[in-house]
């Protein structure tokens, strides 16, 4: 685990064993994917320009519990936000193949009537072996010390404030798999 005394992110490098990452990928390989969208006020065409990836909700409760543990640990170590005890969203398993991407965005939402309004922390678990794909870097923008390119090492977890702008660059070859999760508060971030 590496991060400065206060940081816009907390990194748990190689937190999940590679064999377990491979099993998580295998579990999801036979399940149906759907095209991802984004929450937006604009038309559906904007959603397609912003994000091109295949996703599925994940029902692995043991993995959800483990990931929530990392979110809560990062919160205690670094953010100290008031978090809810209620788990409001499923994990999201994402598959990025050649040409797929997720343009710069925030996970936090500004509309009071939408679920992302109370998101406080975002987590990405890197499931793929970095040798299995090129491109697909996860970048967190405008961090205090500059933009941060997250490690691609298999099993690494990065937790960051849901208000930070970030993106997944286009995959140039191969397949990038990741798991994404958000934790909420009972009230929104200010």
Looking at residue 46, its pLDDT comes to: 43
- Whole-prediction pTM: 0.86
Whether 121 and 74 have beta carbons less than 8 Å apart is answered as yes
Average pLDDT over residues 152-158: 98
Partners of 158 in the β-ladder: 11, 124
Looking at residue 77, its pLDDT comes to: 94
Residue 152 has pLDDT above 60, yes or no: yes
133's tokens: 């794909």
Residue 41 has pLDDT above 70, yes or no: no
Whether 84 and 125 have beta carbons less than 8 Å apart is answered as no
Residue 114 has pLDDT above 70, yes or no: no
């Amino acid at each position: 685990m590496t991060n400065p005394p206060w940081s816009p992110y907390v990194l748990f490098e190689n937190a999940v064993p590679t064999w377990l990452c491979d099993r998580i990928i295998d579990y999801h390989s036979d399940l149906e994917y759907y095209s991802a969208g984004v929450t937006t006020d604009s038309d559906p065409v904007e959603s397609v320009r912003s994000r091109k990836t295949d996703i599925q909700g994940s029902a692995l409760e043991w993995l959800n519990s483990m990931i929530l543990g990392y979110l809560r640990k990062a919160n205690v170590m670094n953010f100290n936000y008031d978090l809810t005890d209620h788990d409001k969203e499923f994990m999201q398993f994402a598959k990025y193949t050649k040409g797929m991407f997720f343009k710069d965005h925030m996970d936090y939402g500004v509309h009071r009537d939408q679920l992302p309004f109370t998101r406080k922390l975002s987590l990405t678990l890197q499931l793929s072996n970095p040798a299995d794909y090129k491109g697909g870097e996860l970048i967190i923008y405008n961090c205090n010390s500059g933009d941060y390119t997250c490690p691609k090492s298999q099993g690494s977890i990065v937790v960051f404030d849901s208000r930070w702008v970030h993106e997944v660059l286009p995959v140039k070859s191969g397949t990038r798999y990741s798991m994404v999760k958000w934790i909420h508060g009972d009230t929104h971030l200010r």
